[in-house]
């Protein structure tokens, strides 16, 4: 009887542990889209030149194809030249993809972003200026937003406001939204294993750039990462790190699980509605499932010279950077035996 009660208590404690971890993950998770919105300076006017220059529409994945087509129809009439529609979770997925997207936007002479959002059964459209860098936006430019429970009413309001405040100079605008732009995010190969170079050479670990997270990162690495490493400026490129003598660098993506797998080169036909995440507690591997539409962090090591990425031998993404990093580093230690 005592053995049964003890076992029952352990089960309850184990359940409470994961509930607390789930609550912590929820409390700490901040979408990259929310960070971007916090970087905007809103005013009462549409950004100047919206009807004469090119835009990119960044949409949340809950928008339907029919809704995107309706938006493009009104934009075409107003003179808003949204040359391409992109899933915002791809564009805001992390520092590495940001560099690729920024290069692409510059090559297409993009001047504005149009953010297509849905919150609490309400549509919201945000217009802001693209700053030409991998940070995408900043507070030096004035942004404008409008919302409505009806998409059609919202689009009509935007049309009326646009044509009454700016001169239309964009005329050659696509009838239908251009989607499905393919970009190659990595010049090297994708490898679903850990690189032995991590044991042999000093790795670069980029700081987060804020005091609290940097302290937590430093403490975790000191206790758990038993290889040569050095904390570095997160703005340093692979080429700059290679020049400083770093063979490997730790990178990450922060986005939906299905998007992360696509960006990192996994076989997307194997991506289901939920993904099995591998974690390690007290050197004992475990598995839990996370919905593939959930926002996660996924870490990987990258070779600074050739651009090859090493994802690890199992999917180890998680909802907070702390858990995702722990999963990756502890799995690395088990695999490489150090």
Contacts of 163 (CB under 8 A, 6+ apart): 51, 78, 79
pLDDT bracket for residue 2 (50, 70, 90): very low
Q: Does residue 103 lie in a domain region?
A: yes
Residues 52 and 130 reside in one and the same domain: yes
pLDDT bracket for residue 17 (50, 70, 90): very low
Asked if residues 217 and 208 have their Cβ atoms less than 8 Å apart, the reply is: yes
Q: Does residue 50 lie in a domain region?
A: yes
Q: pLDDT tens, 318-333?
A: 999 999 999 999 999 9
- Please give the Cα distance from 275 to 266 (Å, whole number): 12
DSSP one-letter code for 293: T
The count of structural domains within the chain is 2
Contacts of 255 (CB under 8 A, 6+ apart): 32, 89, 90, 92, 93, 94, 263, 295, 296
Residues 141 and 239 reside in one and the same domain: no
Residues 274 and 315 reside in one and the same domain: yes
Asked if residues 130 and 109 have their Cβ atoms less than 8 Å apart, the reply is: no
Contacts of 186 (CB under 8 A, 6+ apart): 96, 265, 302, 307, 309
Q: Does residue 182 lie in a domain region?
A: no
Residues 161 and 193 reside in one and the same domain: no
Residues 191 and 233 reside in one and the same domain: yes
Least confidently predicted of 22-26, 71-75, 157-161? 22-26
Q: Does residue 290 lie in a domain region?
A: yes
Residues 139 and 38 reside in one and the same domain: yes
Q: pLDDT tens, 38-82?
A: 999 999 999 999 999 999 999 999 999 999 999 999 999 999 999
pLDDT of residue 67: 97
pLDDT of residue 166: 97
Q: Does residue 46 lie in a domain region?
A: yes
Q: Does residue 173 lie in a domain region?
A: no
Residues 196 and 241 reside in one and the same domain: yes
Neighbours of 64 (CB within 10 A): 9
Quick one: tokens of 131?
A: 């700053």
- Please give the Cα distance from 27 to 315 (Å, whole number): 23
Q: Does residue 181 lie in a domain region?
A: no
- Please give the Cα distance from 95 to 98 (Å, whole number): 5
Q: Does residue 10 lie in a domain region?
A: no
- Is the model's pLDDT at 14 over the cut of 80? no
Residues 161 and 192 reside in one and the same domain: no
Residues 194 and 149 reside in one and the same domain: no
% of residues, the chain, pLDDT over 70: 91
**Mean pLDDT computed over 9-34:** 52
Asked if residues 123 and 159 have their Cβ atoms less than 8 Å apart, the reply is: no
Residues 197 and 292 reside in one and the same domain: yes
- Is the model's pLDDT at 338 over the cut of 90? no
Residues 134 and 233 reside in one and the same domain: no
Measured between alpha carbons, how far is residue 24 from residues 62, 298, 299, 317, 322 in Å? 26, 18, 19, 16, 11
pLDDT bracket for residue 30 (50, 70, 90): confident
Q: pLDDT tens, 117-149?
A: 998 889 999 999 999 999 999 999 999 999 999
- Please give the Cα distance from 42 to 142 (Å, whole number): 6
pLDDT of residue 29: 57
Which structural domain, as residue segments, surrounds residue 228?
A: 187-336
- Interstrand relation of 284-291 and 295-303 (parallel, antiparallel or unpaired): unpaired
Residues 233 and 157 reside in one and the same domain: no
Quick one: tokens of 59?
A: 């949409």
SS3 332: helix
pLDDT bracket for residue 277 (50, 70, 90): very high
């Amino acid at each position: 009887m005592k053995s049964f009660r003890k076992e029952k208590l352990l089960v309850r404690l184990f359940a409470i542990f994961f509930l607390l971890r789930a609550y912590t993950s929820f409390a700490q998770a901040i979408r990259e889209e929310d960070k971007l919105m916090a970087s905007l300076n809103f005013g009462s006017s549409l950004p100047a030149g919206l009807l004469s220059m090119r835009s990119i529409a960044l949409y949340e994945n809950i928008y339907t194809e029919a809704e995107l087509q309706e938006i493009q129809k009104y934009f075409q009439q107003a003179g808003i030249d949204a040359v391409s529609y992109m899933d915002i979770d791809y564009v805001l997925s992390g520092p590495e993809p940001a560099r690729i997207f920024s290069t692409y936007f510059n090559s297409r002479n993009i001047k504005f972003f149009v953010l297509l959002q849905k919150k609490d059964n309400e549509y919201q459209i945000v217009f802001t200026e693209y700053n030409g860098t991998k940070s995408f936006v900043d507070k030096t430019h004035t942004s404008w937003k409008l919302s409505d429970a009806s998409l059609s009413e919202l689009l009509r309001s935007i049309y009326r406001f646009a044509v009454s405040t700016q001169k239309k100079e964009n005329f050659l605008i696509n009838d239908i939204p251009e989607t499905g732009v393919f970009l190659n995010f990595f010049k090297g190969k994708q490898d679903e294993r850990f690189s032995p170079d991590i044991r042999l050479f000093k790795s670069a670990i980029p700081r987060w750039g804020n005091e609290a997270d940097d302290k937590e990162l430093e403490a975790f690495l000191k206790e758990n990462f038993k290889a040569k490493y050095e904390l570095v400026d997160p703005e340093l490129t692979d080429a700059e790190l290679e020049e400083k003598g770093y063979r490997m660098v730790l990178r990450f993506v922060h986005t939906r699980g299905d998007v992360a797998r696509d960006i990192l080169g996994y076989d997307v036909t194997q991506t289901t509605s939920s993904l099995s995440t591998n974690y390690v507690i007290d050197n004992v591997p475990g598995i839990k499932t996370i919905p593939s539409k959930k926002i996660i962090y996924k870490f990987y090591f990258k070779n600074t010279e050739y651009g090859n990425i090493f994802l690890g031998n199992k999917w180890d993404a998680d909802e907070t950077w702390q858990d995702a990093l722990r999963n990756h580093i502890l799995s690395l230690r088990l695999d490489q035996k150090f």
